[in-house]
Amino acid sequence: MITWPSPAKLNLFLYITGRRQDGYHHIQTLFQFLDYGDTISIEINHSGTLQLLTPVDGTTEENNLIMRAAKLLLIHAEIYGTLSTKVGATFSIEKRIPIGGGLGGGSSNAATVLIALNYLWGTGFSLKYLAFLGLKLGADVPVFIWGLTSFAEGIGDRLLPLILDEKWYIVIDPSVGITSFQIFSDPDLPRDTSRRHIKDLLLNPFHNDCEGIVRKQYYEVEKVMSWLLLYSTPHMTGTGSCVFSEFNTQQAAFNVLDRMPKQWNGFVARGVNVSPLHSFMSSIVG
């Protein structure tokens, strides 16, 4: 059994520039990985069955992205005949990324499973093909597959890798679960932000177009942002509910975390330009 990292992400900014007829939104966002996340233990076998040993609260096994990713990869491996024998796997997950927090936990889990099983089963698919499969599971999955800090457009699937300063972040979870559907279906959500060049976006203060709606509907998120404002500039990641602030040093971030009110959960992590999953994969492959 091998234990694989499944890292969290931040949306350092998120702008909604339009809406498609199928309900998806055009966005411009900046993805940053964190050296913090879930871990998924995987043991392969030759039974042909897939089993999740640690159910995730609020998610059935059929809807869990770990199982959906494994089944999808297995189907495509069988279609293209890349398996030399019957394969299966058992999974267990240690969940650290809050569900409904905007940190990409489910998408990250799916990407970790696709990359891990592609290696363990020897299916031989390229990252480009795995990203294609990942998009079937969620718009954020491809960035976790590619594993690089990226500027994203389209529905979040058109990616431009970037190198950023690897800052430290405090991330606070107000223990409120928010689904992307809730926010993106809100009639008052801004959907007409002007599309801008990445150079212009990086030179101006970052913002999240979902923030106003979330702060209005979820008082706990509003309280976190108001409290963090005492120490630094707060931002919301994704469609919420987690809130983060950036610091130049680890100690500065911990100084604020130590003052955090006890009713919230929080952690300090470093932003990294290469996903911990890809760093781990490189250590295995050599």
The response to whether 103 counts as a known ligand-binding position is yes
The response to whether 108 counts as a known ligand-binding position is yes
The response to whether 98 counts as a known ligand-binding position is yes
Residue with tokens 């940190």: 103
Query: Do the Cβ atoms of 3 and 39 come closer than 8 Å?
Result: yes
Q: Is 209 a catalytic residue?
A: no
Of 106, 109, 95, 111, the C-alpha closest to 54 is 95
The response to whether 282 counts as a known ligand-binding position is no
The response to whether 102 counts as a known ligand-binding position is yes
3-state helix, strand, coil in the chain (%, to 5): 35, 30, 40
Query: Do the Cβ atoms of 66 and 54 come closer than 8 Å?
Result: no
Q: Cα(192)–Cα(217) distance, rounded to whole angstroms? A: 21
The response to whether 172 counts as a known ligand-binding position is no
Strands 50-52 and 88-94: parallel
The response to whether 104 counts as a known ligand-binding position is yes
Of these residues, 9, 157, 173, 209, which one is catalytic? 9
Of these residues, 35, 57, 140, 223, which one is catalytic? 140
Q: Cα(4)–Cα(15) distance, rounded to whole angstroms? A: 32
The response to whether 101 counts as a known ligand-binding position is yes
Query: Do the Cβ atoms of 67 and 49 come closer than 8 Å?
Result: no
Q: Is 95 a catalytic residue?
A: no
Active site residues: 9, 140
Binding residues: 98-108
Binding residues for ATP: 98-108
